[in-house]
Amino acid sequence: MMISIKRIIRSGWNIFSRDKEIALATIFTLFLAVCLVSSLFLFAKISQFIIVSTQEKIDISVYFKEEVDENDILGIQKEISKFSEVKKVEYVSSEQALVEFIERHENDPTLIEAVEEVGRNPFLASLTIKAWEPSQYGIVSNFLQTADFGDMIEKIDYFERKSVIERVASFTSAAYRIGILVALTLILTAALTTFSTIRLSIYNSSEEIKIQRLVGASNWSIKGPFLIQGALAGLVGSFICVFLFGLLSWSLASRFEGLFYGLNTFQLFASNFWFLLFIQLFTGVGLGIMSSNIAIKRYLKV
């Protein structure tokens, strides 16, 4: 058994190393397929980052009337925090709101002067509420409107931002659905392209396969080396892809960070390196073996 496996591996290596043109074509096709799958994986990660970042920017602010006591507001904060839809509730006092305003607009003296003209702090105490999903803000807002403490509330800014929130919710949902559809289509295309290339390379050997059958070789001893050839091509294609993606993610890191604050592509690559390598090897070697197996079947019926 071990001798057979050793011979099959040796024979597979011989096929792979001797016919360089076929080997290069097969490696290139598998490399493309692996790159496609890797790109989809990284694209999914980047999309997730962008979507989460966008969602993080959305919130509802509930402004309380001037005369409402801070302890009452803190009690409402505690109550709202218990809801499953609510991710975080932050209390901003009127004094804190004034300080933040001045910090935000420190380069705009006109605005600062306008506030000073009022003679008092115009900002109201508020609760900033973040939900888990954009679609949940409506539920939270409805609750706030009908709650017992409704008469303490001066304003809820959900209605002003409602259309933006709904658009973001709709966009993220559509992005996931379309992303999956595109991913499946591209993976299928990659698999079919790889299969065609390997099938052509095995067609090239069809006469040899027939001869091997005629002299008494078993199906496994004929098929085995071609599976090894497919696996080797997948392995080489995967390693080239890993190297290329590492290089690309490192060179594009600063550019991406400029576009999307906090998104470092090299860090993303590094933190997902082992999983990405696994996906690439699984895709490359798996696709190589599977395509070889399917392609050779018709030639084993001599």
Binding site for other proteins (CB under 8 A): 3-4, 7, 14-15, 18-19, 205, 207-208, 211-219, 221, 300-302
Min. distance of Cβ 18 from other proteins in angstroms? Answer: 6
Task: Pick the closer one to other proteins by CB: 18 or 255.
Answer: 18
DSSP string, 177-241: HHHHHHHHHHHHHHHHHHHHHHHHHHHTTHHHHHHHHHTT--HHHHHHHHHHHHHHHHHHHHHHH
Which helix (H) or strand (E) element contains residue 165? helix 158-203
| Phi, psi (rounded to 5 degrees) for 46 | -65, -40
Min. distance of Cβ 221 from other proteins in angstroms? Answer: 6
Task: Pick the closer one to other proteins by CB: 14 or 254.
Answer: 14
Min. distance of Cβ 207 from other proteins in angstroms? Answer: 8
Q: Residue 204 is encoded by which pair of tokens? A: 């090239």
- Rounded to whole angstroms, the Cα distance separating 69 from 237 reads 67
1-4, long-range: CB < 8 A, 24+ apart = 4/220, 4/221, 4/224
Location of structure tokens 């992005």: 175
Task: Pick the closer one to other proteins by CB: 181 or 211.
Answer: 211
Asked if residue 169 lies in contact with residue 134, where contact means CB atoms within 8 angstroms, the answer is yes
Location of structure tokens 């509330």: 153
Asked if residue 60 lies in contact with residue 153, where contact means CB atoms within 8 angstroms, the answer is no
- Rounded to whole angstroms, the Cα distance separating 63 from 76 reads 12
Min. distance of Cβ 289 from other proteins in angstroms? Answer: 20
- Rounded to whole angstroms, the Cα distance separating 131 from 168 reads 13
Min. distance of Cβ 200 from other proteins in angstroms? Answer: 16
Min. distance of Cβ 288 from other proteins in angstroms? Answer: 19
Task: Pick the closer one to other proteins by CB: 7 or 88.
Answer: 7
Min. distance of Cβ 185 from other proteins in angstroms? Answer: 37
Task: Pick the closer one to other proteins by CB: 119 or 216.
Answer: 216
Task: Pick the closer one to other proteins by CB: 91 or 203.
Answer: 203
Task: Pick the closer one to other proteins by CB: 121 or 219.
Answer: 219
Min. distance of Cβ 21 from other proteins in angstroms? Answer: 13
Task: Pick the closer one to other proteins by CB: 263 or 300.
Answer: 300
Cross-strand partners of 90? 128
Q: Which of 250, 200, 252, 251 is closest to 226 using CA atoms?
A: 200
